[in-house]
Amino acid sequence: MSASLAVAMEPLIRRKIFMTEEQAIRELLRDYILRQISILQREAARFERRYGMHFERFGEYLHERSVLLETSQLPPQQRQSLGQAIMQEEDDWLDWKAAREMLESWLGLRQEAVA
């Protein structure tokens, strides 16, 4: 362990919050991982509530909307409005996808950290 890490852990051990540096590192790491998982789960749930569907269905929905934009004979104003809405939804899809991938990564890390 680096000297700076040992110095950072010293007050926690001195106050008997943790018995050893290893225990401190393990528990703090576990708590940090769980906090990241919770944040990403809330973000995914927020997207599910916003769109009223799961991620996979949202991808299908976006594809359907893109096809509609390409194939329909909408008036210019509606076409522009739909295009802007789809662009925002695609941004949300990317954010949602990134959150899901990060969540999977943190879940995997949790398994490794516990072992």
User: pLDDT value at position 4?
Assistant: 84
User: pLDDT value at position 115?
Assistant: 58
Strands (E), the chain: none
pLDDT tens track, the chain, 115 positions: 678 888 888 899 999 999 998 899 889 999 999 999 999 999 999 999 999 999 999 999 999 999 999 998 989 999 999 999 999 999 999 999 999 999 999 999 988 876 5
User: pLDDT value at position 80?
Assistant: 94
User: How far from chain centre, in Å, is Cα 103?
Assistant: 5
Confirm if 47 and 92 have CB atoms less than 8 A apart. yes
Rounded to whole angstroms, the Cα distance separating 91 from 95 reads: 6
pTM summary value = 0.82
Helix (H, G, I), strand (E, B) or coil at 17: coil
